[in-house]
Chain A
């Protein structure tokens, strides 16, 4: 019974856990509900990934309604990898959450926080798992609405405006996506992705399909914060509670990128999306600008959460750059960077959470002397920062390695040089932190000391993983290259 329903479990468990967390009311009990749900989703994702890589793609008909009429969950290597990333991040962040949340969010809102967290998780996992275009929109809205709530829970009053800004931009994005899905339905009479892929080629030359493609791509680019549609991201990350910043930075944009890959490669097909619609060149140009803009803007930030947020914009650029190369190596680089960046950025935001817990803020001045007062936290930031730079032996090097190889394969010298040279911008913003932490003396009356273990351990779990997967790349590269092959192969 459980085995047969495995594909739905990662989504349904957090979805059911959400009202439970709300009903339980007590902070610790609702945390427990969330933790159990996230762990269950994670275990199911691991099993699913194993099953998918052993037996190939799995299809699951919701409520027994056969596709293409009913909603289908369809899992191949690409999205089961995304499920794994998202659910793993949720587990780690939840481990971190209780103490951080107790400090940053008023007590009466705790149950609400965990409820929204689980809804957001369910939405993200649902987006990844579903094989139905409209259903994807529904899950996108579930995750978006709950993330607006999560961001608004930040104790800084600017969290409200940040959340509102995100609400407006996110809703525009979602509307565009809905229009796109609607247009596709008009032209083909189906919403099932696999079915769409079959029926679309007959109507490919219609203007309606072209505009559907445009609406979908622009809408998703908004959600994944591709330059110049990134405006919502810095404030949303900066003013959200620490745990939320970490979770959203590690997962939300990643799932949107997955959705874009799914539509571009599976539904529309490589030839139409990248050659006929010239998405390749648009993505290439935009991701290069994103890398430059994000990295340079990061250098000038004094709020370190802002700094990491701008760095995220640049890192999304790296992922999309890999995608825009439309080759096995390039896609592998992009997909593996989904995972790698989730580890690094998640770990970095958690480390920031530790600092906020002890120092009350994350401005550059709060970093003064942290190297002495919070050595382990700062060491985590250094390792995570080295990952962003792409220095060995972190996962960052792996991503960069494949990305540059992909550029060399195409014979694009200038791109290989650009990618490596852009790493130096990351050196500049990471070293700002190192400078402040190690070369300034701590405030004489500072009460900062090492963060409690309950915060430190989840942080180091992610940072440690970013080191481990920097050396042992069999798992990540194996899965990513399989996923890339499936996407390029066209079949869902």
Chain B
């Protein structure tokens, strides 16, 4: 009885933000307080509804819910397993925080079309939940595409020529890769095996020649454009024209993590570790990922615009997760999956801070942020903590995931990869830490305008995520328990 109740929760969790979107639309521009109340309520409800599911999954259950029969072996269905749960928990928790932040940011910044913003946001979260729960590639593909479409209006929110141009790159690249490569790969898998279910150990073993499976692996990994593997990373910097809360939750957490989450699912549940180790394409992709890690770190160093710098940092960090998935050792899977959560907390903190600086001091360029530490101590302090987490230094959560990823490269005997990871971490220290250090220890320009404090709602959100980074360092236990269950 208990289990059936839990199962029903999955469609409810996907449905809640959809209903929330309708309520937000009804409240409209005329009643902004009611509208924001709906947003917060839905966010909290979604997170709360995940609690019983968490319990069930930790106790070994894999709740399943079939929405509709489609083709045999490819129904529209949900099945929750540890990786999906991790993604859902991270995304829904950070949605609550981001909602609080958005209220401060959107009002402080006097943005247009706020209702549309909140509606699209809620839709995006619903579809991200669908991605997390998907029981097979088809369901995943459905929600993956819906996520792309629903975020388009958020990217182009400003409505300027630049925003539209960014939106075009965003949509073109994401839809292009997913339709041309991912859908083809899914159809190919279907014609080879007749099933698309995520199965522990994979479904493709022995289904075709090594060459064919190698090609399939390449199609999958380049087809998931949201994972921003080079050369299909251009959409992510382009998406930075969006309002900061969008960049924070969607382009540091929900959308990009949906990408690497998909890759992880494909690696673990479609190919399986043994097959991945046997394919020559895995090595090729490992080097593509390593190149992405290094190159985007290098590009990040050259960017003066803070959001652009953070975007390239994200591209680099996503490739870490991809590496973890490709290594396919237990440490690789644990490290990669943990990094989904760790990077989410770290990067969302950084984006929140970037937005707070923009609202409070109207600065978006790194070079203009000298000496801001005195006026914005909390913001810059949090930026420091977030940077630590991204670099992988104690006392922030990122240390653990990088630790496991480094272990995985050693296990697999890829010393060169280890070197790449280390060098990139040093680079990220260079381009991230410089910002809080200069903020606190450099004098401000003498003719600078006075700075107001960041809005209260923003500061609150920043404090929560920064504390989260630290807490994840001291209490990684539950996360470790969850990630070590993946693929079992």
Chain B residues within an 8 Å CB radius of A386: 149
Please classify the interface of chain A as helix (H, G, I), strand (E, B), loop, or mixed, using the class held by over half of its residues: helix
CB-nearest residue of chain B to A407: B187
Q: Is A485 an interface residue (CB 8 A)?
A: no
Do the beta carbons of A417 and B142 come within 8 Å of each other? Answer: no
Do the beta carbons of A392 and B70 come within 8 Å of each other? Answer: no
Chain B residues within an 8 Å CB radius of A393: 76, 142, 146
Alpha-carbon distance A420/B186, docked complex (angstroms): 12
Chain A residues within an 8 Å CB radius of B47: none
Chain B residues within an 8 Å CB radius of A52: none
* Given known A386-B149, A391-B149, A435-B164, contact A471–B180 (CB-CB < 8 A): no
Chain A residues within an 8 Å CB radius of B69: 474
* Interface flags, B138-177, vs A, CB<8A=1, else 0: 0001100110010011001001000110011001100110
Q: Is A261 an interface residue (CB 8 A)?
A: no
Q: Total A-B pairs in contact (CB under 8 Å)? A: 68
Chain A residues within an 8 Å CB radius of B76: 393, 471
* Interface flags, A405-421, vs B, CB<8A=1, else 0: 10011000000110011
Q: Is A294 an interface residue (CB 8 A)?
A: no
Alpha-carbon distance A393/B183, docked complex (angstroms): 13
Interface band, chain B: 20 to 34
Q: Is A65 an interface residue (CB 8 A)?
A: no
Alpha-carbon distance A333/B42, docked complex (angstroms): 41
Do the beta carbons of A408 and B68 come within 8 Å of each other? Answer: no
Q: Is B184 an interface residue (CB 8 A)?
A: yes
Which of these binds chain B: A28-36, A147-155, A423-431? Answer: A423-431
* Given known A405-B191, A424-B176, contact A392–B142 (CB-CB < 8 A): yes
CB-nearest residue of chain B to A403: B187
Tell me which of B145, B172, B188 contacts A391 (CB under 8 A): B145
Q: Is A272 an interface residue (CB 8 A)?
A: no
Tell me which of B159, B164, B179, B191 contacts A424 (CB under 8 A): B179
Do the beta carbons of B187 and A416 come within 8 Å of each other? Answer: yes
Tell me which of A392, A416, A441, A474 contacts B184 (CB under 8 A): A416
Do the beta carbons of B187 and A417 come within 8 Å of each other? Answer: no
* Given known A408-B187, A408-B191, A416-B187, contact A392–B145 (CB-CB < 8 A): yes
Q: Is B93 an interface residue (CB 8 A)?
A: no
Chain B stretch 396-455: residues in CB contact (< 8 A) with chain A:
none
Q: Is A102 an interface residue (CB 8 A)?
A: no
Do the beta carbons of A471 and B68 come within 8 Å of each other? Answer: yes
Q: Is B190 an interface residue (CB 8 A)?
A: yes
Chain A residues within an 8 Å CB radius of B163: 439
Min C-beta distance of A2 to chain B, whole Å: 36
Do the beta carbons of B191 and A439 come within 8 Å of each other? Answer: no
Alpha-carbon distance A418/B70, docked complex (angstroms): 25
Do the beta carbons of B164 and A417 come within 8 Å of each other? Answer: no
Do the beta carbons of A390 and B187 come within 8 Å of each other? Answer: no
Do the beta carbons of B159 and A390 come within 8 Å of each other? Answer: no
Q: Is A55 an interface residue (CB 8 A)?
A: no
Q: Is A472 an interface residue (CB 8 A)?
A: yes
Do the beta carbons of B188 and A408 come within 8 Å of each other? Answer: yes
Chain A residues within an 8 Å CB radius of B176: 424, 427
Alpha-carbon distance A473/B69, docked complex (angstroms): 9
CB-nearest residue of chain A to B164: A439
Min C-beta distance of B128 to chain A, whole Å: 16
Chain A residues within an 8 Å CB radius of B146: 392-393
Min C-beta distance of A327 to chain B, whole Å: 13
Chain A residues within an 8 Å CB radius of B168: 431
* Residue of B76, B167, B180 with most partner-chain A CB within 10 A: B180
Alpha-carbon distance A405/B190, docked complex (angstroms): 9
Do the beta carbons of A392 and B179 come within 8 Å of each other? Answer: no
Alpha-carbon distance A431/B179, docked complex (angstroms): 16
Please classify the interface of chain B as helix (H, G, I), strand (E, B), loop, or mixed, using the class held by over half of its residues: helix
Chain A residues within an 8 Å CB radius of B156: 438-439
Do the beta carbons of A390 and B179 come within 8 Å of each other? Answer: yes
Alpha-carbon distance A351/B184, docked complex (angstroms): 32
Min C-beta distance of B420 to chain A, whole Å: 32
Chain B residues within an 8 Å CB radius of A401: 187
Chain B residues within an 8 Å CB radius of A417: 180, 184
Tell me which of B141, B153, B180 contacts A420 (CB under 8 A): B180
Chain A stretch 429-449: residues in CB contact (< 8 A) with chain B:
431, 434-435, 438-439, 441
Q: Is A404 an interface residue (CB 8 A)?
A: yes
Chain B stretch 257-279: residues in CB contact (< 8 A) with chain A:
none
CB-nearest residue of chain A to B182: A420
Chain A residues within an 8 Å CB radius of B152: 434
Do the beta carbons of B184 and A420 come within 8 Å of each other? Answer: yes
Chain B residues within an 8 Å CB radius of A392: 141-142, 145-146
Chain B stretch 1-30: residues in CB contact (< 8 A) with chain A:
none
CB-nearest residue of chain B to A392: B142
Tell me which of A405, A424, A427, A473 contacts B70 (CB under 8 A): A473
CB-nearest residue of chain B to A473: B70
Chain A residues within an 8 Å CB radius of B67: 471
Do the beta carbons of A438 and B180 come within 8 Å of each other? Answer: no
Alpha-carbon distance A471/B171, docked complex (angstroms): 24
Min C-beta distance of B124 to chain A, whole Å: 16
Tell me which of B68, B142, B164, B171 contacts A427 (CB under 8 A): B171
Do the beta carbons of B187 and A404 come within 8 Å of each other? Answer: yes
Min C-beta distance of A389 to chain B, whole Å: 8
Chain A residues within an 8 Å CB radius of B145: 391-392
CB-nearest residue of chain A to B148: A391
Chain A residues within an 8 Å CB radius of B71: 473
Do the beta carbons of B183 and A424 come within 8 Å of each other? Answer: no
Do the beta carbons of B191 and A420 come within 8 Å of each other? Answer: no
Do the beta carbons of B184 and A404 come within 8 Å of each other? Answer: yes
Tell me which of B171, B188, B190, B191 contacts A431 (CB under 8 A): B171
* Given known A405-B190, A431-B171, contact A472–B179 (CB-CB < 8 A): no
CB-nearest residue of chain A to B184: A420
Min C-beta distance of B190 to chain A, whole Å: 7
CB-nearest residue of chain A to B187: A404
* Residue of A400, A416, A420, A431 with most partner-chain B CB within 10 A: A420
Min C-beta distance of B296 to chain A, whole Å: 25
CB-nearest residue of chain A to B156: A439
Min C-beta distance of A114 to chain B, whole Å: 39
Chain B residues within an 8 Å CB radius of A473: 70-71
Min C-beta distance of A382 to chain B, whole Å: 8
Do the beta carbons of A424 and B187 come within 8 Å of each other? Answer: no
* Interface flags, B186-214, vs A, CB<8A=1, else 0: 01101100000000000000000000000
Chain A residues within an 8 Å CB radius of B183: 400, 404, 420
Chain A stretch 367-405: residues in CB contact (< 8 A) with chain B:
386, 389-393, 400-401, 404-405
Min C-beta distance of B123 to chain A, whole Å: 12
Tell me which of A389, A405, A435, A471 contacts B187 (CB under 8 A): A405
Chain B residues within an 8 Å CB radius of A421: 179-180
* Given known A392-B141, A392-B145, A404-B187, contact A424–B68 (CB-CB < 8 A): no
CB-nearest residue of chain B to A418: B180
Alpha-carbon distance A95/B76, docked complex (angstroms): 33
Alpha-carbon distance A492/B406, docked complex (angstroms): 67
Chain A stretch 348-382: residues in CB contact (< 8 A) with chain B:
none
Do the beta carbons of A427 and B175 come within 8 Å of each other? Answer: yes
Do the beta carbons of A420 and B179 come within 8 Å of each other? Answer: yes
Chain A residues within an 8 Å CB radius of B159: 439, 441
Chain B residues within an 8 Å CB radius of A390: 179
Alpha-carbon distance A392/B171, docked complex (angstroms): 15
Chain B residues within an 8 Å CB radius of A408: 187-188, 191
Chain A residues within an 8 Å CB radius of B175: 389, 391, 424, 427
Chain B residues within an 8 Å CB radius of A420: 179-180, 183-184
Chain A residues within an 8 Å CB radius of B142: 392-393
* Besides A389-B179, A391-B179, A435-B164, 6 other A-B contacts (C-beta < 8 A): A393-B142, A408-B191, A423-B179, A427-B172, A434-B152, A471-B67
Q: List 8 A-B contacts (CB under 8 A).
A: A386-B149, A389-B175, A391-B145, A393-B146, A427-B179, A434-B152, A438-B153, A471-B67
Q: Which 9 A-B pairs have the closest CB atoms?
A: A392-B142, A408-B191, A471-B68, A404-B187, A420-B180, A423-B179, A391-B145, A439-B159, A420-B179
